[in-house]
Structure 1
Amino acid sequence: MSRKITFLTLFLWLMTVTFPVIAQQKADTTCIFRFVPQKDMFYVPWKGNDTELARLLEYIENNKATILDGKLPLLVDGYCKSQGSKAENLATAKIRANRVKSELIIRAKIKEENFITRNHATEGDFVTVRLTVPVKETAVTDAEAEARLAAEPTVAGRRERQKAEAEKAAQQNTLANTPSETKITTDYHLSLRANLLRWAILTPDLGVEWRICPSWGIAVNGSWTSWSWSDKDRRYALWEVAPEVRYYMGEKKAWYLGAMFKTGQFNYKLSETGKQGDLMGGGITAGYQLRLNKALDLDFNLGLGYLNVDFEKYEVIDDVRVRRGNETKDWYGPINAGVTLVWKLF
């Protein structure tokens, strides 16, 4: 019992210490705000929008002077593909982009002129906001400078020219920076899971995963089986429950690291001597999710860690189970493996 208490303490410490360190990755300059299909209301706490908004507000605050000066515009792209026609999709994308801009204008104290907006009837139901690298100014002659000033004698005119130059530079990178259908693969909350390796050895396995946001998920898998043969002289029975916390990484959020806890009981009698007991342990997991289509993924995963097994030995004599002692074993190494079919529900 003391070993189990010690292990649980180490497991909780691992989750609270290791994962905040993993999560401290360098942020990019693109923020994605998700919308309910066919709706244009901007729900800030929904699907990680609050996290993205806080990240974007920090970017704006760090570059506010440059943004207000017109040298670093915010590129806003609205997307919608859930309406019935292209015109309706464009209209909804425009409203969504305006909702996000209004939130930024109010919170960050910036102006409409600090945005460059485009709307699209493709890709998905989201709005992206990007910060582009400031356009480098090239050297000009005195005559060219005088000509520009003559053509744009006002401050507003010069700002309009700078905005146009920034928009031109952004358009050159549109294909590279616009999120595509393959990039946004985590637009779901709940999925069902079945470890095909477990099913292959006649041990039914089912689970669920809740994606709190694109980067974080909580999964729970359970296995159960009960087989007997040779007039019940041979036995194979098992149940396990394995909760897991995952952190998804990369642009497509396909690779992940996790922390798993496992507990269960077993009863094996594959020879003259049977073993019956319980197990407890956990460790670090890693894996990759391969997208098959919009609804299905294949999850390849492996777990390494520690298992503590307490069991008693027994024999069956004249249909009576006779105890032959007990043992405790510790195992360090692989504790889990899976090729899991993931069905994304919503």
Structure 2
Amino acid sequence: MKQVRQKIRYYLFLFLSIYFYSDGYCQDVAVKTNLLGWATVSPNFGAELRISGNSTLDIYGSVNPFSFEDNKKWKHWLAMLEYRYWFCEAFHGHFIGAHTVGGEYNIGNTKLPFGVYPNTRYARYEGWGVGGGITYGYQWILSRYWSFEATLGVGYVYSHFEKYPCDTCGSLLESGKKHYLGVTKAALNLIYVF
């Protein structure tokens, strides 16, 4: 847990360093939100800045502190840092990227996508994970300031978890590690470009 927080601080420091010391492109900044995240009641926010003619740095965070009826929960926080290379120009068209991700979770009485933990309907999982991968995306310009982006990333996530027999009670059933290879990022972002 301490290592995850240290990595997040490191990437935040790296992001801010590049932002304040890059060579004249910092006037191109975008803020964004992932509509898929809001569909899962996970407030989220991202910022992206141009670091060269065809390169940007994207930082993103999401949190879900809520429990729902029948004690359904998908509580989490996560942070993601991504370098992007744009084929035409930054903030327009096709791009590829490399991303890192880290966070914590507490999931129970709900079904997760992509088969990450298949038994979350009948057990509760609590833990943390770190990983990374590659991304492909496309951004459409809607107006002078507004854009829309679709992004999909695949990669690897290492996770440490504790498993409990039900969503509200019980003693520890299992503690272990999970290696996940698959979708690590999916976004439909609404973007405001400065």
TM class, shorter-chain normalised?
0.7 to 0.9
Q: Which residue of 1 aligns with 2:162?
A: 312
Task: Specify which of 191, 195, 206 is matched with residue 45 of structure 2.
Answer: 206
Tell me the distance in 2 between the aligned counterparts of 1:339 and 1:255: 14
Amino acid at match of 1:342: I
Larger radius of gyration: 1
Check conservation: 1:274, 1:313, Cα contact below 8 A. yes
The equivalent of 2:143 in structure 1 is 293
SS in 1 for 2:81: strand
Aligned-pair CA distance for 1:236: 2.2
- The Cα RMSD (Å) is 2.5
Structure with more helix by fraction: 1
Question: Which of residues 168, 173, 180 is equivalent to 1:331?
Answer: 180
Query: Structure 1: which amino acid aligns with 2:40?
Result: I
Confirm or deny: 8 A CA contact 1:209 1:218 kept in the other structure.
yes
Residue 217 (str. 1) matches residue 66 (str. 2): no
Q: What is the number of residues matched between the two proteins?
A: 163
In 2: Cα distance, 1:268 partner to 1:280 partner: 17
The counterpart of 2:127, out of the listed 277, 299, 322, is: 277
Tell me if 1:244 matches 2:103.
Answer: no
Determine helix, strand or coil for the equivalent of 1:199. Answer: helix
- What is the 5 A alignment of 1:226-241? 226-230=65-69, 233-241=71-79
Give, in whole Å, the separation in 2 of the partners of 1:265 and 1:241: 10
- Change in CA separation of 1:229 and 1:197 when aligned onto 2, cut-off 3 Å: closer
**Post-superposition offset of 1:338:** 0.7
CA contact (8 A) 2:88 2:94 kept: yes
Distance 1:262 1:229, change over 3 A: same
Give the alignment's TM-score, normalised by structure 1.
Answer: 0.43
The 2-side partners of 1:235 and 1:339 are apart by 23
- Higher-strand-fraction structure: 2
Matched, 1:47 2:22: no
Q: Report SS of the residue matched to 2:66.
A: strand
Identity of aligned residues (%): 28
Structure 2 spans left out of the alignment, 5+ residues? 8-22, 110-120
- Structure 1: any 5+ residue segments left out of the alignment? 9-44, 49-187
